A and B are shown apart, each in its own frame.
Chain A
């Protein structure tokens, strides 16, 4: 098979898979190196983006998934009784924001920042797949820490967590006079 065929082989795999597929698995399937595969995927993604196709391919870190383009959702809704997924509550959104910018972060840290108990929000975010347990902190009680997932990247329509705006952009204008204000930008 020549290069062109392999690009469409990836397309076929992504269609059949439905859910996101890791780059390594795709590379193995087409018997190419991960970097060659990534290049083919990049071309395929460009093909899809050119001319606003009904489908698009999203990249979340090293995972790829075929999805419908959100702009066409109203048309989908005309034919299927599709209701959008339920929205996250304010509490869940706040918790998710903290995980995104402070990861890996413990529940206690989240609760301190929010000033309120957050375990149910965290559980919901884990269930919805936006947050997962990252590991355990080497501290008394060995509390678990949380981090964001590829699904969170999909939520934000970004390829990598480093594409999130810097924390300072949100605090912009507000003079944070306290020296220990974090400089982190959410990089993992």
Chain B
């Protein structure tokens, strides 16, 4: 048996245009019987090969048969008033043919487009988190604690070992101590809580203590500018 190269089409109009061009037929004078036969032949072929065609192919087949039938009917009216049964089909084929040409044009543009390289937008995490004055992010906290370490001449990078030490000063003790100072002074500077020899754990305890006190609502914190000293006052 001869091997058949089965051509696929993008739709019934695509198939019709192909049949017309194979037969070198003028689109305005379609020999409808001949084309209908060839069209139907394609559908039978697809059926034999178990190729499922879109239902639209059948719709157009029906239209072709209808046109063929109408053309076989005797013409009763004068020639002028007679509309060609093929007219609608011709109009659609013409329009589709133009869009196929436009497709070719767009396809040519596509080959250039595929060779354009663009880069991903830069990602700026620090900008994404850019804060309003009330927002405090981890970076600001880190900067604040770094400035405290800087004041006390502790270099966290050098001194930090990963052993967990027993707290030298508990957070509770620190809260107690800050509360006592606030009974005598209206405001306390955060930096004043430490001295040059204050240990890292002491600083961390103080830091946690004021956070705890803010949470409890016993103190208010204010800061002129980021990284500046934090003023602690009674709420």
Contact = CB atoms under 8 A, between A and B. Distances in A.
A17 B122 contact: yes
A84 B115 contact: yes
A188 interface: no
Given A66-B118, A67-B118, A170-B102, A157 B96 contact: no
Interface size, B (range)? 35 or more
A174 interface: yes
B203 to A, nearest CB: 39
A175 to B, nearest CB: 8
Contacts of A17: 121-122
Interface in B69-124: 87, 91-92, 94-103, 105-107, 109-110, 112-122
Interface residues of A, number: 46
B96 A155 contact: no
Main secondary structure of the interface of B (DSSP, over half): helix
Interface stretch (A1-9, A32-40, A97-105): A97-105
Nearest to B96: A113
A70 interface: yes
Nearest to B87: A178
B117 A115 contact: no
A138 B176 CA distance: 73
Given A157-B113, A170-B102, A116 B107 contact: no
B231 to A, nearest CB: 36
A139 interface: no
Contacts of B40: none
Contacts of A162: none
Given A18-B122, A178-B91, A91 B10 contact: yes
Nearest to B56: A116
Contact of A16 (B10, B101, B116, B121): B121
A165 B108 CA distance: 14
B127 to A, nearest CB: 11
B96 A101 contact: no
Going nearest first, the 10 A-B pairs with the smallest beta carbon separation are: A116-B11, A73-B115, A84-B114, A97-B102, A70-B115, A115-B13, A93-B103, A68-B117, A18-B121, A18-B119
Given A68-B118, A176-B94, 4 more contacts: A97-B105, A117-B54, A170-B105, A171-B101
11 contacts: A71-B115, A91-B10, A93-B103, A101-B102, A115-B13, A154-B116, A167-B102, A171-B101, A174-B97, A178-B87, A178-B94
